Amino acid sequence: MHQRGVIIQGSSRSEGNTNIISKYIQEKTGFDIIDLKSKNISSFDYDFNNQGDDFMPLMREIVDNYDTLIFATPVYWYSMSGIMKNFFDRISDCLKIEKDTGRKLRGKSMGMISCGSDSELKEGFEMSFIESANYLGMHYLGSIHTWLENEQVSDSLQKEINTFIKKL
């Protein structure tokens, strides 16, 4: 079966730096891009009163159509974006009320792209992604930290991204 991939972009700016990186990777891989900002995804609710939003239809689309999920997030206050955090928190819905959808994540692959204002990523940033993949039974492919120089993907970063893409 042909592997299909998707970049799930969680930024407060649909056309920001994270999107520039996502589009660069899309050009090299053919992966689709899902922009979480364009979706109505409520925060987690223990009473599951949020079922009228876009989360479950989006999750069904993801698990039914993609084998590789790459999460792309800017670095906000040393962590993933709030939009991305809401998405991760809502995966609990797939474990509590729509278990068949959650089970379909098992065996899929996950990777992470972070985009920051400089070349340094603080220790611990990646932990949420690694542990979520482990918990969900997904294969973690690793991560890459990116940044733009003068609103461009530098030659050296292009080489690093190309190496990351080979893991996919």
Give per-residue pLDDT as tens, 50-83. Answer: 999 999 999 999 999 999 999 999 999 999 999 9
Averaged pLDDT for residues 151-162: 94
Averaged pLDDT for residues 145-161: 94
Domain architecture of the chain: domains with CATH:
5-167 (3.40.50.360)
Place of tokens 């893991």: 167
Q: Cβ contacts of residue 31 below 8 Å, gap of 6+?
A: 4, 5, 6, 7, 25, 68, 70
Give yes or no for a contact between 94 and 132, defined as CB atoms under 8 angstroms apart.
no
Backbone angles phi, psi at 140, to 5 degrees: -90, 120
Report pTM: 0.96
Q: Judge whether residue 30 has pLDDT over 50.
A: yes
